[in-house]
């Protein structure tokens, strides 16, 4: 039995349609595969840069905390020297150094509680009367309040830097 031209044509068309469907199917598999590969790479790049930016941010916060701690320590040191030695020859020099911190670096790192404690101590220095024992007690009290405010502020900043569990 010979096939008619019509049957042969139909078989060829069916065969061509099957090949075309296979080619289209292969094309879609390749497109989806490429898309998924690009998506995976994009997610990886995003995660890398996101973690890098978070690490950079945390490193910046650590450096600010270290500067804050250093400045707080220095301010408390001078406050203690002023409060404990108001009749010392270096009293005026310590007041100047404290004033330099008060008007300078502290403004960059202090929180509102430390700012208030700094002002209170600064005004206690201004109001200080060397002959009045209550005036020295006030200096000691305000220096103590400043140290506590600095400790609490520094601890609060450190808690923000600790990794979350």
Token readout for 158 is: 């450190």
Q: Given this model, what pLDDT does residue 3 score?
A: 64
Q: Given this model, what pLDDT does residue 116 score?
A: 97
Q: Given this model, what pLDDT does residue 18 score?
A: 64
- Count up the domains in the chain and report the number: 1
- Would 14 be classed as within a structural domain? no
- Would 2 be classed as within a structural domain? no
pTM: 0.66
The end-to-end CA distance of the chain, in Å, is: 81
Q: Given this model, what pLDDT does residue 22 score?
A: 60
Q: How far apart are CA 13 and CA 162, in angstroms?
A: 70
- Would 130 be classed as within a structural domain? yes
What is the extent of the structural domain holding 106?
58-161
Residue 1 scores a pLDDT above 60? no
Q: Given this model, what pLDDT does residue 125 score?
A: 95
| Tens digits of residue pLDDT in 56-79 | 888 888 888 899 999 999 999 999
Q: Percent of the chain having pLDDT more than 90?
A: 47
Residues contacting residue 114 through CB under 8 Å, at least 6 positions apart: 72, 106, 146, 149, 150, 153
Q: Given this model, what pLDDT does residue 142 score?
A: 97
């Amino acid at each position: 039995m010979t096939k008619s031209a019509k049957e042969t044509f139909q078989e060829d068309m069916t065969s061509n349609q099957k090949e075309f469907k296979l080619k289209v199917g292969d094309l879609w598999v390749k497109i989806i595969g490429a898309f998924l590969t690009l998506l995976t790479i994009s997610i990886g790049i995003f995660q890398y840069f996101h973690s890098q930016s978070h690490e950079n941010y945390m490193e910046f916060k650590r450096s600010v905390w270290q500067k804050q701690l250093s400045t707080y320590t220095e301010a408390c040191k001078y406050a203690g020297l002023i409060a404990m030695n108001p009749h010392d020859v270096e009293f005026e020099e310590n007041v100047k150094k404290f004033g330099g911190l008060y008007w300078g670096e502290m403004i960059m790192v202090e929180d509102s509680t430390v700012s208030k404690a700094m002002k209170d101590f600064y005004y206690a220095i201004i109001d200080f009367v060397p002959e009045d024992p209550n005036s020295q007690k006030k200096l000691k009290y305000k220096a103590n309040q400043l140290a506590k405010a600095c400790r609490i502020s520094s601890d609060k900043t450190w808690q923000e830097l600790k990794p979350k569990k």
